Amino acid sequence: MRTSTERNSPAVTYNFGDYVLYRDPELFWTGKTNHTFVCRVGSRWTDGTYHLTALASGKVVPYVRPDYMRLLPPIDAMRDIDTAPLHGADAADGMTAAAMAWLTQQHTTANQRPELPEQR
């Protein structure tokens, strides 16, 4: 029986390409390891279930109920870039390699002169 809180909770709909954290209920409830992992949403079926692809293994996880999924928002993945200290000698020490690469790319692109087409 569902509680009034469960009945009144808004249904979450995931979109193709969303990154989600998935917990395999069978592995979890039987006490087995590796029950929670990051997936990408592949498709949604008319019964409300989803097909996911596990990022680490590439394994397809079919017919997943959304109750066992949690959205991984882009803001969490990009937090280190958004909050990175950009001034000071040790500013880069707390940043991941991906953040450094992205900032370097943005800096290089922003400071380049646009290329003119070749003269004919």
pTM: 0.61
pLDDT at 10 over 60: no
- The model's confidence at residue 80, banded by pLDDT at 50, 70 and 90, is confident
pLDDT at 3 over 60: no
The pLDDT value recorded for residue 114 is 60
Q: What is the mean pLDDT of residues 94-99?
A: 69
The pLDDT value recorded for residue 5 is 47
Range 41-50 contact pairs with CB under 8 angstroms and sequence separation of 24 or more: 41/14, 41/15, 41/16, 41/17, 42/16, 43/16, 44/13, 44/14, 44/16, 50/14
pLDDT at 38 over 70: yes
pLDDT at 76 over 80: yes
- The model's confidence at residue 4, banded by pLDDT at 50, 70 and 90, is very low
Higher-confidence residue of 12 and 71: namely 71
Q: What is the mean pLDDT of residues 34-52?
A: 94
